[in-house]
């Protein structure tokens, strides 16, 4: 992996740091380790339900590298954050992934260039429709079931930002991909952009997501971004669960009432309750 093959000063600096981590494993293995370390570092700061298993993965990967080698991953993470601070709306990891020819041919990976994603977002997200949905429901959801590194979702967030809409509070981003590595790349970038939502690692054709749109299935393969745990989104989740509980109680009450009505009807058809004092 040569820094000279990558366009952009930020990317070249990142690749230089990445190449300097170690020389005892291949770039693909090191990239996978890096992405998993970044993703777990973010997720375990907020998601306590899956903390233990993910922390085991983190420590397993960390244990493979010497302290000075592991420092290289920390440097790369810092460079990524700095680049996204300068230019939040970009597909930093996805661009590098494709330019360095790390895409999976088996999965037919060919990420859409960010400029094309911007054009798609501008055409698909119409201001009048979005504002009506927000007036009616308070928030919208944006779904990409083959998210790659998240370029289309990042472009959608940029489009909302250009319209003066606070995407962090008004848009729920839902992503999924069969490839764990690229799904983790998407999770990292959406998290650092401050998007609220989740990334699910699964084949969406054979294993589609279930559960309410707001929270999904909540399984171990679902990664929630830190912004999803913020006050406004936590409030929406609380309201949803309260409504579900209330609806469940109403359903039980309706079922009990129907059963009583059925018994009364059967008693009426038999001529009422009959009491016999003698055999």
**Confidence class for position 268, pLDDT limits 50, 70, 90:** low
> Do the beta carbons of residue 148 and residue 116 sit within 8 Å?
no
* Whether residue 147 is found in the same domain as residue 224: yes
CA 60 – CA 55 distance, rounded (Å)? 8
Nearest-CA neighbor of 55 among 69, 71, 39? 39
In a domain, 269, yes or no: no
* Whether residue 61 is found in the same domain as residue 168: no
Q: Residue 163: what pLDDT?
A: 97
Q: Which pTM was predicted?
A: 0.86
Decide: helix, strand or coil at residue 272: coil
**Confidence class for position 255, pLDDT limits 50, 70, 90:** low
> Do the beta carbons of residue 21 and residue 30 sit within 8 Å?
yes
* Whether residue 128 is found in the same domain as residue 53: no
Out of 214, 234, 254, pick the residue that ends a domain.
234
Nearest-CA neighbor of 80 among 141, 19, 15? 15
Number of domains in the chain: 2
In a domain, 106, yes or no: no
In a domain, 253, yes or no: no
CA 200 – CA 92 distance, rounded (Å)? 20
In a domain, 104, yes or no: no
Q: How far from chain centre, in Å, is Cα 31? A: 20
> Do the beta carbons of residue 37 and residue 45 sit within 8 Å?
no
* Whether residue 118 is found in the same domain as residue 94: no
* Whether residue 119 is found in the same domain as residue 209: yes
* Whether residue 7 is found in the same domain as residue 89: yes
* Whether residue 165 is found in the same domain as residue 193: yes
In a domain, 277, yes or no: no
Q: Mean pLDDT check: name the lowest of 6-10, 52-56, 106-110, 182-186.
A: 106-110
In a domain, 105, yes or no: no
Q: Residue 75: what pLDDT?
A: 96
* Whether residue 219 is found in the same domain as residue 183: yes
Q: Is the pLDDT assigned to residue 257 strictly greater than 60? A: no
> Do the beta carbons of residue 124 and residue 116 sit within 8 Å?
no
Nearest-CA neighbor of 141 among 216, 247, 234? 216
Q: Domain range for residue 78?
A: 3-99
* Whether residue 145 is found in the same domain as residue 215: yes
In a domain, 204, yes or no: yes
Residues 6+ apart with CB under 8 A from 198: 173, 174, 175, 216, 222, 223, 224, 225, 228
CA 164 – CA 181 distance, rounded (Å)? 33
Nearest-CA neighbor of 129 among 163, 153, 168? 163
Q: Using N-to-C axis directions, what is the helix angle for 151-162 and 180-193, rounded to 10°?
A: 20
- In the block, tokens 């007036």 appear at 135
Out of 64, 99, 134, pick the residue that ends a domain.
99
Nearest-CA neighbor of 20 among 87, 63, 79? 79
In a domain, 250, yes or no: no
Q: Residue 110: what pLDDT?
A: 73
* Whether residue 171 is found in the same domain as residue 225: yes
Q: How far is CA 116 from each of CA 72, 91, 113, 135, 177, rounded to the nearest angstrom?
A: 33, 12, 5, 29, 20
> Do the beta carbons of residue 111 and residue 151 sit within 8 Å?
yes
> Is residue 107 within a helix (H) or strand (E), and if so which, with residue range?
none
Give tens-digit pLDDT for 129-185. 999 999 999 999 999 999 999 999 999 999 999 999 999 999 999 999 999 999 999
CA 271 – CA 273 distance, rounded (Å)? 7
Out of 234, 249, 269, pick the residue that ends a domain.
234
* Whether residue 126 is found in the same domain as residue 61: no
The dihedrals phi and psi of 250, each to the nearest 5 degrees, come to -65, -40
With a pLDDT cut of 90, the percent of the chain lying above it is: 69
* Whether residue 93 is found in the same domain as residue 9: yes
Q: Residue 138: what pLDDT?
A: 95
Q: How far is CA 239 from each of CA 13, 219, 224, 230, 232, rounded to the nearest angstrom?
A: 46, 21, 18, 14, 11
**Confidence class for position 245, pLDDT limits 50, 70, 90:** confident
Q: Considering the chain, what is the average pLDDT of its residues?
A: 87
Assign residue 205 the CATH number of its domain: 3.40.50
Rounded to 5°, the CA angle 179-183-185 comes to 125
The whole-number average pLDDT for the span 111-133 is: 95
């Amino acid at each position: 992996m040569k820094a000279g093959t990558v366009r952009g000063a930020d990317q070249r600096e990142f690749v230089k740091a990445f190449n300097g981590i170690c020389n005892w494993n291949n770039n693909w293995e090191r990239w996978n380790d890096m992405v998993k370390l970044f993703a777990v570092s973010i997720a375990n700061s907020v998601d306590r339900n899956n903390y233990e298993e993910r922390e085991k993965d983190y420590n397993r990967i960390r244990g493979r590298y010497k302290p000075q080698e592991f420092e290289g991953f920390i440097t790369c993470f810092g460079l990524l954050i700095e680049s996204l601070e300068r230019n939040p709306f970009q597909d930093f990891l996805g661009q590098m992934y494709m330019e360095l020819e790390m895409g999976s041919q088996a999965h037919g990976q060919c990420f859409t260039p960010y400029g094309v994603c911007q054009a798609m977002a501008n055409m698909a997200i119409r201001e009048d429709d979005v504002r009506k949905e927000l007036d009616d429901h308070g928030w919208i959801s944006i779904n990409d079931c083959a998210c790659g590194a998240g370029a289309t979702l990042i472009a959608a967030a940029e489009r909302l930002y250009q319209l003066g809409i606070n995407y962090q509070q008004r848009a729920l981003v839902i992503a999924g991909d069969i490839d764990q590595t690229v799904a983790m790349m998407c999770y990292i970038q959406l998290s650092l952009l401050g998007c609220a939502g989740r990334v699910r690692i699964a084949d969406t054709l054979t294993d589609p997501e279930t559960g309410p749109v707001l929270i999904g299935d909540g399984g171990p393969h679902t990664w929630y971004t830190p912004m999803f745990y913020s006050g406004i989104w936590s409030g929406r989740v609380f309201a949803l669960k309260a409504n579900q509980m209330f609806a469940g109680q109403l359903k039980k009450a309706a079922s009990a009432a129907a059963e009583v009505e059925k018994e009364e009807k059967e008693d009426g058809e038999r001529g009422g309750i009959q009491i016999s004092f003698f055999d």
